[in-house]
Structure 1
Amino acid sequence: MSSAATPTRTLSMTQVLVCGAAIVTLSMGIRHGFGLWLAPITMDRGWTRETFAFALAIQNIAWGAAGPFAGMLADRFGAFRVLAVGALLYAAGLVLMALATSGLAFTGSAGLLLGLAQSGTTYAVVYGVIGRNVAPERRSWAMGVAAAAGSFGQFLMVPVESWLIGHWGWQSALFVLGCAALAIAPLALGLKEPDQAHAAHGGPRQSVGAALREALGSSSFRWLTAGYFVCGFQVVFIGVHMPSYLKDHGLAPQVATTALALIGLFNVFGTYTAGLLGQRMAKRHILSGIYLLRSVVIVLFLWAPLTPLSVYLFAAVMGFLWLSTVPPTNAIVAQVFGVQYMSMLGGIVFFSHQIGSFLGVWLGGWLYDLTGSYDVVWWIAVGLGVFAGLANQPVRETPIVRPVAATA
């Protein structure tokens, strides 16, 4: 009886947030600047934009497909092991991306390998640790802090990556980033949980199969997943193709660099605000508002004259809405289904996000090569934003009630 009453040891919230935020800053910061490589790589290698876009599309789909498995391993064996392996894959993928001389090799490195690396070094794994070690009443806020760190990584890393490309060349820049990615491994030591945290957190254990059946059988989980598809489509299309879109319209490369940095800067405030609001109001309303506002902002951007000022205004407002979907989405998963398999279930929701990312980045390149314009994809993004705004309204946020047998 006394053993049953033994409290589960957890990590300090400060340690989890500092190390988790630093990891997300690196992993998300590096990938946010990949759009800066589109022009120099395609010109140097003589490839079409679709070749580059397809590799990044594979990266996103590989990230999403591997996410549930990386999450399952993190839930079962601890985040530290998954993060350490992810750091090695990240460094290897960046180095091989620089060395690739064919479209197939580029897809294997920039696409498959980096996608696998990101599945083990980003939100799903880090949020699992946050969910298990931060009290429920502060969980949404803590996830907002981690998401804001990823946004700060974009703000910090995009100008650095642009400087590296300009002064050292695009290949050397990738080698430097490969070294930086290795820093994720020592930072992961701060997220190494006691074995006891995995053995008995949150009461009786539920099987993996039961957790999957429960989530997939929930209409709220399915609606949440459908909405997250749209998030992936919008942000990856904009992040990868906006630099080329602005260049096509005669704007200087510095405008795109500044715009991407502004997206990262304002997303720091947006993600933190979303996490904070998630403690005070229904998260489904927050998500619906974000998606609908994105559609409005894109329409205004397309209608307004394209100038550096209009680009910066668009980047600032869109940045505020950029990854602000992440804290409320993951907080709903933890609130409804608990934290035992949060990394795995968060990975499944994120897989939908990455299917959207795949289509956003690939369709951007394919339709551009087909029509000579990005206009069709912009309007697809508008329509999907309206759909996601409506799709999140049926989501219910009350914890699921399980029969005793389900947790045996």
Structure 2
Amino acid sequence: MHSTQSLRPVLPILIGAAVMLTLSFGMRQSFGLFMPSLTSDIAVSITDFTLAIAMQNLVWGICQPFAGMFADRWGYRPVMVAGAFSYVIGMILMATAEGTIAVLLGAGICVGIAMACASFAMAMALTARLVPPAIRSTALGIMSAVGSAGIMFIAPIGQYLEASFDWRIGFLGFVVVALLIVPAAWIAGRVDKEVPLVPAADTADSLSAGAAARVAFRHPPFVMMALAYFVCGMQLVFITTHLPSYLVICGLDPMLGASAIGIIGGFNILGSLFFGWAGQRWSKQGLLGLIYIARSFTLAVYFILPPTATTTIIFAAVMGFFWLGVSPLVAGSVVEMFGLRWQAMIQGFAFFSHQIGSFFGAFGGGWLFDKLGSYDLALQLGVGIGITAGVCQILFAFYYPPHRPKLA
């Protein structure tokens, strides 16, 4: 494909992938809205709820490389559709939950599997395969932006249903949303027959899964990127899980949490587009470091200031701009280093580090709050680790620019 005109035949596939990503990620980002009501209504503590979110992130991270391998072996369609049905089951379990086990199974295991099979990694891998290299980074930014738009309308819908009825009705609404992922994943799965992969020379495309994994873990730029990715998961999941609860504790309007998450989604569109464009022109590794540092300073400033509706909206806008700009940068870096065939698998290895960070952001934040009665220490750790990782990422990009590794 040499021009944007050649994208027309694959637009339905790209649209299906974007809708799948929009719905799956939008719901997942909105679970924290239900935490105050759910934990006060049934025998589930804040620690239990955040443990479920933490488990979700670990399951997602563990399953992501396997989902990539299965997609190469069996095709993207069966993997993505199976993930969609796992999401439906998870939301049914949440809507009918009476205790911790159902929450762990629903929000933890089922949604974790669903996110690995029918969310970011798969949508980004499809996009990278379908567009030419000249516009790949920009296209990945567009996919991240369009896919992230779901949080703008799903979070307010969930908050409205919870406020007007109760949290169970909110999750029943999410059951309906999850059912819509199934046809989107089916349409995106047309990539299996309509766009076969042609292995590229001097890439890991010709290697087996095991050999490609060994090459990745011996490549220092990839290892650095994967380790720094920990910060991304820790900061973002801490915010989506604990910001609504923090605002309620501070006596602010509970709807402000949904509004903040929606604003994050809106400005994330701008950020994803910008960083997709920027990654086509400047060092992807250096841009990643800048994002981690900018997020950390934004967190520090917001939580030092007294919380108000105005500061919360400004915080959400700034944080939203830096929210998922990492996605096109990481996905594009993996393709540049290793090629297309094993992108979902290799990106999944980096994403596992991201999800370990997510575990600590969700569960660690809740555990520290239960022990100390405040989020102060969790925030100090998040800011300090974020700045350290960002600086290391920039220095590493300067002294060790990425290149394709030796395959032998």
TM range (shorter): over 0.9
Contact 2:129 2:197 in 1 (8 A): no
Per the alignment, residue 353 of structure 1 pairs with 354
Greater CA drift, 214-223 or 294-303: 294-303
TM-score (norm 1): 0.93
* Aligned twin of 1:6: none
Q: Are residue 220 (structure 1) and residue 217 (structure 2) matched?
A: no
Q: Separation in 1 of the partners of 2:8 and 2:56?
A: 32
- Residue 387 of structure 2 is aligned to residue 386 of structure 1: yes
Contact map agreement 1:17 1:142 (CA 8 A) in 2: no
Structure 1 counterpart of 2:246: 245
Deviations along 1:145-201, whole A, 9 cap, x unmatched?
111123211112111111111223211221221122122221223322244855633
Separation in structure 1 between the aligned mates of residue 244 and residue 282 of structure 2, nearest angstrom: 36
* Structure 1 residue aligned with 2:131: 134
Deviates more, 1:159-168 or 1:216-225: 159-168
Matches within 5 A, 1:368-387: 368-387=369-388
Q: Hey, what's the Cα distance between the residues in 2 that align with 1:117 and 1:77?
A: 17
Q: Alpha-carbon deviation of 1:229?
A: 0.7
Q: What amino acid does structure 2 have at the position aligned with 1:387?
A: T
Residue 221 of structure 1: CA displacement? 1.0
Per the alignment, residue 200 of structure 2 pairs with: 202
1:75–1:198: 8 Å Cα contact kept in structure 2?
A: no
1:343-390: per-residue Cα shift (whole Å, max 9, x none)? 101111111111100111001110100000011111111012112212
Structure 1 unaligned spans of 5+: 1-8
C-alpha separation in 1, matches of 2:66 and 2:192: 21
Which region of structure 1 is more displaced relative to structure 2, 148-157 or 356-365? 148-157
Instruction: Say if 2:64 and 2:348, in contact at 8 Å, map to a contact too.
Output: yes
Q: Where do residues 256-405 of structure 1 align in structure 2 (5 Å cutoff)?
A: 256-393=257-394, 394-395=396-397, 398-403=402-407
Kindly provide the CA deviation profile for residues 214-241 of structure 1, in whole angstroms up to 9, marking residues without a partner as x: 0011111111001111000000001110
Q: Offset at 1:258? A: 1.2
TM superposition shift of 1:12: 3.7
| Separation in structure 2 between the aligned mates of residue 89 and residue 300 of structure 1, nearest angstrom | 39
**Whole-Å separation in 2 of the counterparts to 1:13 and 1:312:** 38
2:11 is matched with: 14
Q: Partners of 1:291 and 1:12 in 2: how far apart?
A: 37
Q: How far, CA to CA, are the matches of 2:18 and 2:110 in structure 1? A: 23
Which residue of the partner structure matches residue 32 of structure 2?
35
Corresponding residue for residue 154 of structure 1? 151
Overall identity of the aligned pairs, in %: 36
Where does structure 2 lack aligned partners over 5 or more consecutive residues? Answer: 1-5
Match of 1:94 among 73, 91, 107: 91
* Separation in structure 1 between the aligned mates of residue 336 and residue 320 of structure 2, nearest angstrom: 26
Which residue does the alignment assign to 1:45? 42
Match of 1:179 in 2: 176
Q: CA deviation at 1:19?
A: 1.7
SS at match of 2:206: coil
Tell me, yes or no, if structure 1 residue 85 matches structure 2 residue 82: yes
Distance in 2 between residues matched to 1:282 and 1:105, nearest whole Å: 44
What count of residue pairs does the alignment treat as equivalent? 396
- TM-score, length of structure 2 as denominator length: 0.93
**Structure 1 residue 277: deviation in Å?**
0.7
SS in 2 for 1:17: helix
